[in-house]
Structure 1
Amino acid sequence: MAAPTLTATHHRAVANLLSPPRLAPYLRASGGNLRAALKLYQWNVEMSSAVYMMLHLVEVFLRNSIDKQLRAWNATQINPQTLRPHGRDWLLDPSHLVERVVRRDEIDKAARRARLAVRDSATSRRPVTHDDVLAQLAFGTWRFLLPGRDPGRQLLWREAIGGAFPGLRRPVRDLVRDVDRLHRLRNRVAHLEPLLVVAVVSLQLKAARRVLREIEPSAEAWLVSQQQVSTVAAQQPVAAPRNA
């Protein structure tokens, strides 16, 4: 089936469905030209897709690297009730510090989502595993496990999580700043917000590369070989101002 030829009527109908507030940044960047604004909007959809793919890789590499360290560390912690060490499964058998820093309610919500996912996808009944729950934790979990003012987070960094970044050669605060940038970017993409300033997105790609390089140089190389952010950025139909 051939694609329909779009007319001004189509453009106006689509603009109304998008709503004036949502379309406003694109119209500003396009000098009020509706057709150009819609073209820019479609480009933003493609940019969001490229950014999401980049963040997908960063989140999985970051999550798994931290998880490996927490598994080993959790097994060294004594359960005060049983006087025996906790298991490596820090999500299903968390030590007191993990439970406080990650927050018990966040673990419980992830576990509930994991049970639903297992129930909906499994061909046979099976128990929820650590990896099932791990996959349901939000990006913010990893952002707020990194060291800050909280003494517990600082202790976890020194004894466990710092080992997830063997290539770190800069101040920890710079790593935290980069992960925070990526967390905020993920929120923008999740809420379908504009990513019109390609210079800013390019800086966030550089932040992703730095974080992955400090986890494992091969992870950075993989990201560089797979990411589409640079390609889509070069195709931006209208250069948006920095305050777009």
Structure 2
Amino acid sequence: MPNNFDFTDMVKLISPARLASYHSAFSIENKAELFGLYGWNLELSGALGSLLQLVEVALRNAINDAGKNSITTLPNQHWFELLPYHLIEDVNALPNSAGIKPMVKSPQVRDFENGLAKAKRSAQKLLKKKLGSDTAAAPTLDQIISQTDFSVWEYVMDKSFYDGDASKGFLWPKGYLYAFKKLPLVTGKNKQFQQRDIIRRRIESIRTLRNRIAHNEPVWKGTGFYDKSKTIEGLEEKISEVIELTYWISPSLNVFVRHSALMQRLRMIVSEHEINNATYRNATVNVSDFKSLLDCFDENKTTYRKTLISSGNFTGFIYSKNIDSTDDTFTARFTQPAVNVESCN
């Protein structure tokens, strides 16, 4: 974006308060760099949002599978309606004559139940919209599960749903067998209890990241860093946490995610080079002949990098499409006309 562009309306529409976070985290010299960085955050949000969407679907289906296989139900019953849980002492209530306070559901149990009730209503509403308002059909378990919020699957990992005595029929740890192909490595006593809590905290952290994206906040805001290189490190750590959760759910899911085009895109975006691209700080490489183009390809072979190039009156960029492959495949895009360069050696 040229520096002479009038950003007055952009500042009003996005709001100075929202843009303040960008100023505090990066050394921004002008409005062009500011909105370039804002655009970078939008691109990062899109890529991360897609990854988190995949993880959310996998997680809820994995835990749903655990519920179906761990909780005994009768016809027309769903496992989440029969889920055993521990009560907790109501600290705000007065004790009875024996000095004992009443036992109540924990906030996590209530939130889990409310989340499923909300999902059930939503599924029923969609069913009526599809079949007619007078339909007597009830939503299926899969239809209900698909309408749940991400928070539901954090709540069900709470200790209220855990009991080491398998005869009591609690979801955890029996459900580990169906929900998680791998579990976090722990030491000491009560390993299965620890593993549940580690998974719960990981889901909570990822849900916080997801909410930040959903509310159009800077993705890097939660890293705690206010320096470009440290912010990149913080984002990489967050992404690694998401990837680790996919491994706990299923090593196959983990392999699929790590080798997906989505991860390639994230590696490209989460880099100082791409931030510099967004803020117009990287020099454009002049491609004057085929050799100089091949030199750019060679440089990009081992990095997830988008290189800005110019050739005569054309401007554009090149990037590697599949770094992990033995086949050197690149794409080049120009402003006009569009040119694709495949398998240049």
| TM-score bracket, shorter-length normalisation | 0.7 to 0.9
231, 236, 239: which one aligns with 2:268: 231
79, 82, 104: which one aligns with 1:90: 79
Higher relative contact order (CA closer than 8 Å, sequence separation 6+): 1
Tell me whether 170-179 or 129-138 shows the greater mean CA deviation: 170-179
How well do the aligned residues superpose, as a CA RMSD in angstroms? 2.8
Q: Which residue of 1 aligns with 2:40?
A: 43
User: What CA distance in whole angstroms lies between the structure 2 residues aligned with 1:233 and 1:90?
Assistant: 41
Q: Which residue of 2 aligns with 1:164?
A: 179
Structure 1 residues 11-50: aligned runs within 5 Å:
11-28=7-24, 29-50=26-47
1:175-222 CA-to-partner distances (Å, cap 9, x unmatched) read 333222211111111111102333222112111221111221110011
**Which structure: larger Rg?**
2
Instruction: Call closer, same or farther: CA 1:220–1:96 in 2, change over 3 Å.
Output: closer
Helix, strand or coil at the partner of 1:156? coil
User: What CA distance in whole angstroms lies between the structure 2 residues aligned with 1:20 and 1:71?
Assistant: 49
Matched, 1:190 2:211: no
Tell whether the 8 Å contact from 1:182 to 1:208 is kept in structure 2 after alignment.
Answer: yes
1:114-157 CA-to-partner distances (Å, cap 9, x unmatched) read 1233344x377654211111011111111121143x3x344421
Normalized per residue, the structure richer in helix is: 1
User: What CA distance in whole angstroms lies between the structure 2 residues aligned with 1:192 and 1:117?
Assistant: 28
Helix, strand or coil at the partner of 2:84? helix
Which amino acid is the alignment partner of residue 111 of structure 1? K
In the TM superposition, residue 32 of structure 1 has moved relative to its aligned partner by 4.8
In the TM superposition, residue 35 of structure 1 has moved relative to its aligned partner by 1.1
In the TM superposition, residue 7 of structure 1 has moved relative to its aligned partner by 4.6
User: What CA distance in whole angstroms lies between the structure 1 residues aligned with 2:31 and 2:37?
Assistant: 10
Give TM-score, length-normalised by structure 1. 0.79
In the TM superposition, residue 6 of structure 1 has moved relative to its aligned partner by 8.5
1:59-95 CA-to-partner distances (Å, cap 9, x unmatched) read 111111111010122226xxxxxxxx5767324xx10
Instruction: Call closer, same or farther: CA 1:32–1:66 in 2, change over 3 Å.
Output: same
User: What CA distance in whole angstroms lies between the structure 1 residues aligned with 2:184 and 2:216?
Assistant: 35
Instruction: Call closer, same or farther: CA 1:175–1:105 in 2, change over 3 Å.
Output: closer
Q: Which residue of 2 aligns with 1:113?
A: 122
Matched, 1:146 2:157: yes
Q: Provide structure 2 residue ranges, at least 5 long, that are not aligned to the other structure.
A: 86-104, 164-169, 187-194, 221-230, 280-345
Give TM-score, length-normalised by structure 2. 0.57
User: What CA distance in whole angstroms lies between the structure 1 residues aligned with 2:56 and 2:21?
Assistant: 29
Instruction: Call closer, same or farther: CA 1:35–1:5 in 2, change over 3 Å.
Output: closer
User: What CA distance in whole angstroms lies between the structure 1 residues aligned with 2:9 and 2:4?
Assistant: 10
User: What CA distance in whole angstroms lies between the structure 1 residues aligned with 2:125 and 2:32?
Assistant: 43
Tell whether the 8 Å contact from 1:44 to 1:194 is kept in structure 2 after alignment.
Answer: yes
Which amino acid is the alignment partner of residue 79 of structure 2? W
Helix, strand or coil at the partner of 2:259? helix
User: What CA distance in whole angstroms lies between the structure 2 residues aligned with 1:175 and 1:12?
Assistant: 46
Name the count of aligned residue pairs. 222
Helix, strand or coil at the partner of 1:158? coil
What percentage of residue pairs aligned between the two structures are identical? 24
Instruction: Call closer, same or farther: CA 1:53–1:123 in 2, change over 3 Å.
Output: same
Which amino acid is the alignment partner of residue 275 of structure 2? Q
Q: Which residue of 1 aligns with 2:49?
A: 52
Q: Which residue of 2 aligns with 1:79?
A: none
Matched, 1:130 2:141: yes
Q: Provide structure 1 residue ranges, at least 5 long, that are not aligned to the other structure.
A: 77-84, 240-244
